[in-house]
Amino acid sequence: MSLAARVRVRRGAFELDVDLAVEAGETLAVLGPNGCGKTTLLHVLAGLVALDAGRVTLDGVVLEDAAQGVSVPTERRPVAVVFQDLLLFPHLTALDNVAFGLRCRGRSRSDSRRIAREWLDRMDLGDRTQAKPAALSGGQGQRIALARALAVEPRLLLLDEPLAAVDVQARAQLRRDLRRHLTSFGGIRVLVTHDPLEAFALADRVMVLEEGHVVQTGTPAAVTARPRSRWVADLAGVNLFSGRAGDGRVALEGGGALVIADAVRCGEVFAVVHPRAVTVLRARPEGSPRNVWRGPIEEIDVEGAVARMSIATTPRIIAEVTMAAVESLGLVPGQDVWVTVKATEIVLYPA
Amino acid sequence: MTPRREGVPPAAAVVASLGAALFILPLVGLLWKAPWASLAQALVAPEALVAIRLSLLCSLAATVLSVVLGLPLAWVQARGTFPGRALLRALTLLPVVLPPVVGGVALLAVFGRRGLIGQWLEPLGIRLPFTTAGAVLAETFVAMPFLVLSMEGVLRGLDRRLEDAARSLGATRWTVFRRVTMPLVRPSLAAGAALCWARALGEFGATITFAGNFPGRTQTIPLAVYIELESRPEVGVALSLVLLAVSLTILVLLRGRWLEQP
């Protein structure tokens, strides 16, 4: 069992261009900022948005092929969706919401209700069967939406920001529950989200989508260790630079250069510097550190015992220092400081 | 907490009272003039009974016709994408503002014996002008826009993603319509149909112009009121009271939809 999709959709100036492959039992998280095209991608897989070019196959069956004009309608795909705003049917009870798909797929009314009741029990909602969606909390609604999708036994489960409708307090618990339900569902799972926490907690593999294009794919750990875009670097909380390496230096795209420990590397590279590896000083450093810049502190964010500050050097850099250091050095926004980074602290990988 | 704001100026209150009186006084007058003692007698007068029966028949038929034709029309206007949609919407709205007598003349121009379509219907033995069917058609012409307009708004406002959700669960188009769309618009459809029926029941101008004034065939309550006021005023007033009662009932039933307090 597997999903393979080559998706090309144009909407005015926006173009979605994604290739993906997911195996059964795997959860792929499509992670990206709002407007990156991830919901469109999900709707393509569900058959709610037509492809301009490309092909979608599930378990070897062609669901859509733009060139051949093949398109299996949404209602006949073995696919279920948990929508962003849940989209529970407001006129139906929780039980009938879950039974809806079973009825549509040919089960008798009593069978559908019985299976729906089992699902609600499994979701710890056995006492809410007769409640209408308006009377349910965000978390209850989320579980009913999940039950409604899983009850039809799809081979592909699509989840669009599944925890967005849930308030923050309930989210951690629901994320754990969701993870459990996803694991016990043996089919293919594709989740789209803009929340890295959700992606990293639920997915086996993360695909980062920006402006309709895949920026990188990999395990959550690999993606955060080697970010390939500013957006991912910000999520991971690291400094990301890109430029051309050669002669023990990286000439950066935005101006400035990094001295690196690798004299032979050449070509386009990404360089990551962890903010903790950035040293902030009031005076010009002693000795001969290779990467030294001077610039004013733009802003300081305090998180517990550490402070993250952005410094307007060339290149611009984020440093993380202890609050003790901030106080002893008397660091304040607007102040000029010296910044150094050891060449050995720079992680390089090809762009 | 009471915000310290100026109340209504006395001058505005006086003018407003005059305005309200303009609506309320005629109702009071009608109730005052009503032949309460002989009301039952007036209403069982053969002329009245015949008109009431015919009116119910025609207005209900017009309402059914409006739903059958108007719901798909509203659907197309709300969801279709075709050139001329704006024009179609404007034309649908026209009967609401058009003087009904002009509607009657226009219907004659189409369905009259020498009319645009009537000249072809005549040899087939189908006659609409001055028949009960004609009265139904005239009422439909005037009343259907109310249903189309309200349903178009409702269909436009409906969250279509709910229909997507239903399809993703395996619902065919028909199932989506039956189990999702219709249940969600049903309350509005009932309200729209009630409004449409009230309008059809009170229709005068188009009916008398297109269908004439034949007791038992095309003389509906409003026409009977107009005629009886000359010969037997107590029957005319009694029938007016019937129409007033119907209007008030519909207003009360629909109050939640239009008279909600902010």
Q: From CA B100, how far away is CA B227, in angstroms rounded?
A: 18
What average pLDDT does this structure show over B122-134?
A: 92
Q: Are residues A134 and A198 in the same domain?
A: yes
CATH of residue A37's domain is 3.40.50.300
Q: Are residues A220 and A295 in the same domain?
A: no
pLDDT at A168 (0 to 100): 82
Q: Measuring CA to CA, which residue among B130, B107, B137 is closest to residue B212?
A: B130
- Domain final position from A232, A254, A285: A232
Nearest to B184 among A91, A100, A101 (CB): A91
Nearest to B165 among A73, A77, A83 (CB): A83
For chain B, what are the domain ranges? 39-158+186-256
Q: Are residues A57 and A100 in the same domain?
A: yes
* Contacts of residue A116, Cβ cutoff 8 Å, sequence gap at least 6: A95, A96, A98, A99, A102, A129, A147, A151
- Amino acid identity of residue A242, one-letter, is S
DSSP state of A284: P
- Amino acid identity of residue A196, one-letter, is P
What average pLDDT does this structure show over A21-36?
A: 93
What average pLDDT does this structure show over B223-249?
A: 90
pLDDT greater than 60 at residue B259: no
Chain A residues with CB under 8 Å of B175 CB are 104
According to the 3-state scheme, what is the secondary structure of A328-342? HHCCCCCCEEEEEEC
* Contacts of residue B181, Cβ cutoff 8 Å, sequence gap at least 6: B158, B163
Hey, are the CB atoms on B168 and A89 less than 8 Å from each other?
no
Decide: B208 and B104 in contact? Cβ < 8 Å: yes
DSSP state of A86: B
Q: Are residues A17 and A155 in the same domain?
A: yes
Chain B residues with CB under 8 Å of A63 CB are none
Measured in angstroms, the CA of A127 and the nearest CA of chain B are apart by: 24
- Tally C-beta pairs within 8 A across A and B: 57
pLDDT at B1 (0 to 100): 60
Q: How sure is the predictor about A7, in pLDDT bands with cuts at 50, 70 and 90?
A: very high
A325: enclosing H helix or E strand = helix A323-329
Q: Are residues A300 and A228 in the same domain?
A: no
The pLDDT tens digits for A196-254 are 888 988 999 999 999 999 999 999 989 988 999 888 898 888 999 999 998 888 999 88
* Contacts of residue A339, Cβ cutoff 8 Å, sequence gap at least 6: A278, A279, A280, A281, A292, A293, A294, A295, A311, A313, A317, A319
Chain A residues with CB under 8 Å of B162 CB are 87, 89-90
Kindly report the average pLDDT of chain A as a whole number: 92
The dihedral region occupied by A180, where left means phi > 0, alpha psi between -120 and 50, and beta the remainder, is: alpha
pLDDT at B253 (0 to 100): 85
- Note whether A267 contacts B: Cβ–Cβ < 8 A: no
A104: enclosing H helix or E strand = helix A94-104
Q: Is the peptide bond before A315 cis (omega within 30 degrees of 0)?
A: yes
Hey, are the CB atoms on B169 and A148 less than 8 Å from each other?
yes
- Domain final position from A172, A206, A232: A232
Q: Cβ of A11: how many Cβ atoms within 10 Å?
A: 12
Q: Which residue on chain B is closest to A86 by alpha carbon?
A: B165
Q: Measuring CA to CA, which residue among A341, A339, A300 is closest to residue A322?
A: A300
Chain A residues with CB under 8 Å of B174 CB are none
Hey, are the CB atoms on A101 and B162 less than 8 Å from each other?
no
pLDDT greater than 70 at residue B257: no
Q: Measuring CA to CA, which residue among A9, A22, A3 is closest to residue A48?
A: A9
Residue ranges of alpha helices (H) inside chain B are 10-33, 39-43, 46-79, 85-97, 100-111, 118-121, 132-157, 160-168, 173-176, 182-201, 205-210, 221-231, 233-253, 255-258
The pLDDT tens digits for A307-321 are 999 999 988 999 999
pLDDT at B256 (0 to 100): 67
Q: Measuring CA to CA, which residue among A339, A351, A272, A342 is closest to residue A310?
A: A339
CATH of residue A333's domain is 2.40.50.100
Q: Measuring CA to CA, which residue among A8, A51, A18, A3 is closest to residue A157?
A: A3
Decide: A349 and A293 in contact? Cβ < 8 Å: no
Report long-range pairs for A99-102 (Cβ below 8 Å, ≥24 apart): A99/A151, A100/A148, A100/B166, A100/B169, A100/B171, A100/B179, A101/A148, A101/A149, A101/A151, A101/A152, A101/B169, A101/B170, A102/A151, A102/A152
Chain A residues with CB under 8 Å of B171 CB are 75, 100, 104
Range of the domain at A125: 2-232
**Which residues are A281's β-sheet partners?**
A338
Decide: A313 and A321 in contact? Cβ < 8 Å: no
Chain B residues with CB under 8 Å of A89 CB are 162, 165-166, 180
Chain A residues with CB under 8 Å of B168 CB are 46, 48, 74-75, 77, 79-81
- Note whether A156 contacts B: Cβ–Cβ < 8 A: no
Nearest to B170 among A43, A87, A152 (CB): A152
Mutating which of B161, B163, B168 best tests the A interface, going by the most A Cβ atoms within 10 A? Answer: B168
Decide: A259 and A290 in contact? Cβ < 8 Å: yes
- Note whether A309 contacts B: Cβ–Cβ < 8 A: no
Hey, are the CB atoms on A104 and B184 less than 8 Å from each other?
no
The pLDDT tens digits for A136-191 are 998 899 999 999 999 999 999 999 998 887 888 888 888 999 999 999 998 999 99
- Amino acid identity of residue B8, one-letter, is V
pLDDT greater than 50 at residue A284: yes
Q: Are residues A209 and A287 in the same domain?
A: no
pLDDT at B261 (0 to 100): 44
pLDDT greater than 60 at residue B258: no
Q: How sure is the predictor about B132, in pLDDT bands with cuts at 50, 70 and 90?
A: very high
Q: Cβ of B132: how many Cβ atoms within 10 Å?
A: 18
Q: Are residues A147 and A261 in the same domain?
A: no
Q: What ipTM was predicted for this assembly?
A: 0.81
Q: Are residues A144 and A244 in the same domain?
A: no
The number of folded domains in chain A is 2
Measured in angstroms, the CA of B169 and the nearest CA of chain A are apart by: 5
What average pLDDT does this structure show over B158-168?
A: 94
- Note whether A302 contacts B: Cβ–Cβ < 8 A: no
Measured in angstroms, the CA of A92 and the nearest CA of chain B are apart by: 9
Token pair for A29: 């998280």
Q: Are residues A111 and A11 in the same domain?
A: yes
- CA angle (B107, B113, B118) in 5-degree steps: 60
Q: How sure is the predictor about B46, in pLDDT bands with cuts at 50, 70 and 90?
A: confident
What average pLDDT does this structure show over A248-263?
A: 88
CATH superfamily membership of B39-158+186-256: MetI-like (1.10.3720.10)
pLDDT at B83 (0 to 100): 92
Percent of chain B topping pLDDT 70: 97
Token pair for A253: 């795209």
